[in-house]
Amino acid sequence: MANFLSKEHITANANFNRWLVPPAALAVHLSIGMAYGFSVFWKPLGNALMGVDGKPLAACAAGATNLSEKLSGTARALFATDCNWTQFDLGWMFTLFFVLLGCSAALWGGWLEREGPRKAGLVSMVLWCGGLLISAYGVYAHQLWLMWLGSGVIGGIGLGLGYISPVSTLIKWFPDRRGMATGMAIMGFGGGAMIGSPLAAKLMLHFATPNNPGVWQTFVALAAIYFVFMLWGSLSYRVPPTGWKPANWTPPASQNNVMISNKHVHLNNAHKTPQFWLLWLVLCMNVSAGIGIIGAAAPMLQETFGGALIGQPDIGFADIKKDEALTAAAAAVGAGFVGLISLFNIFGRFAWATSSDKLGRKRTYYIFFVLGALMYCTATYVAGFKSLALFVGAFCVIASMYGGGFATIPAYLADMFGTQFVGAIHGRLLTAWSTAGILGPVVVNYMHDTRLEAKVPFDQVYAPIFMVLAGLLVVGFIANFLVKPVAGKFYMTDTELEAVRKSAHEKSDVINATNTNSTVNNTSQSTSHPILVVLAWALVLVPISYGVWSTIQKAWGLFQ
């Protein structure tokens, strides 16, 4: 078994087709990406316990009016079996997801580089699917702490390992298309909820009874489905031999691009460079400026446009809240807006990362920061005269660049630090995501609640928030401007590099390293397994198509 999981065992031979690796990565990322879709469970779980009168029991934090009381209610909810959970109680799982994702990726990124993506993918599978099963029991026994532990902590560690498991491998298989390769995989993480949320909703509907929302059974079913997909994806990972490169491809070293290095920085030295921390700030600012507002997309649209969303422009959101029918109609439009944003977030990951192969990573991030700031200013302006189309368009562009930032950063790191430790370096940089996952929502939610307490009209709440988020993008622009090539003293010598590769049990493609027209090189590029490639891509494109169709159906309400 140890040999089966080893990096030596999964080093590809001359006949392997590199286009089999992206669907394997997508299978893993589509599975763990369901972390984005966990909000589909909040409302059913909030009504899980029913009283003798057939109505949901009161929440554990019933009557809480401030943060201290809410936290006290959450502490009680962790172990109580006689009261329901609130969205505040359950929402902490999101925090655990992304804090643990960044921390686990940082801690075990070096282990991943030594042991290879297959072992990391399988560990991720056990943790993510096992966490779902623990959460299922937590729902069954009505123990919130088990949900936090299962999906939040154990599953969150699985998220981190699964997220970075294919990054280094894909970059090494596609040195000619680094952005495209990582964009394909990371698109899957954004698309996981697009598939998982409607699937979970249908499963809950299937399993539900008058006294049971069907959540724990859905968790078990999802664990089984994701187990199969992640097992296939992890076992399908292959790594190229050292020295492998695509046919007829000229390495960047022969091109006059000082922002792409052909040397390698050791993991232990990467954080000692100013480039690492500048890129950390670049990612943190890009994510912070998007994650808070995307998380509040539906209420933001409803509060800003009020009755204009449902054909009654003369009434505001305060009036809509008083009528259940109007509230439901506005919520449906808000859900369509969320669906549209999710589509742009997902496909922006692929489109922007792919375009960065031509534009360059630094220039691509310049676009993110300049265009993003302009879009926030545009949203502020068009919200004043209630132009729904321009407002929605601005946030679709923002969402695309939010996703594009995630997908472009691994290629940026490979350009700056080389490919030897890019997966581990990327793992450490993901702590910027963990930070942004707290910073962005705190800024948006604090400013939102403060302005509402000051009796600011709903349609004027978000303008200063947009300006602050634009300011974060300006900070990111400055950090990106300061990124320069890594100083030569940080690169490994050839002797050090050889020692690292030997300790990682890497095999060398000697023929290919010395002869770009070799048989090894050409057959690696050939379509030696065309049916296998088609089947592999079909296994991931079919569920992606289902998710896209489900999301478009929701988004259609925005245009009716």
CA distances from 198 to 41, 270, 298, 438, 503 (A): 11, 41, 17, 27, 45
Provide the pLDDT for residue 495.
93
Rounded Cα–Cα distance for residues 354 and 411 (Å): 10
- HSE toward the beta carbon, residue 376, CA cutoff 13 A: 25
**pLDDT exceeds cutoff 70 at 25:** yes
Q: Which range, 49-58, 65-74, 540-549, has the best average confidence (pLDDT)?
A: 540-549
Instruction: Tell me if 160 sits within 8 A of 104, measured CB to CB.
Output: yes
Q: Tokens representing 269?
A: 């030295």
The packing angle between helices 297-305 and 324-359, to 10°, is: 120
Provide the pLDDT for residue 526.
41
Averaged pLDDT, 382-399: 91
What is the chain's mean pLDDT, rounded?
Answer: 88
Stronger pLDDT, 185 or 104, i.e. the higher one: 104
Question: CATH 1.20.1250.20 in the chain, residues?
Answer: 18-56+74-244+527-560, 261-492
Read out DSSP for 395-422? HHHHHHHHHHHHHHHHHHHHHHH-STTH
- Best CATH choice for the domain 261-492 from the list 3.30.565.10, 3.40.640.10, 3.40.50.410, 1.20.1250.20: 1.20.1250.20
pTM score, two decimals?
0.88
**pLDDT exceeds cutoff 60 at 560:** yes
For 482-497, write each residue's pLDDT tens digit: 999 999 999 999 999 9
CATH class of segment(s) 18-56+74-244+527-560: mainly alpha
Averaged pLDDT, 408-432: 94
Provide the pLDDT for residue 252.
60
Beta bridge partners of 50: 56
Continuous H helices in 58-149: 67-77, 87-115, 117-141, 144-147
Stronger pLDDT, 507 or 79, i.e. the higher one: 79
Provide the pLDDT for residue 358.
93
At 253, the pLDDT band (50, 70, 90 cuts) reads low
Provide the pLDDT for residue 86.
85
Provide the pLDDT for residue 523.
37
At 517, the pLDDT band (50, 70, 90 cuts) reads very low
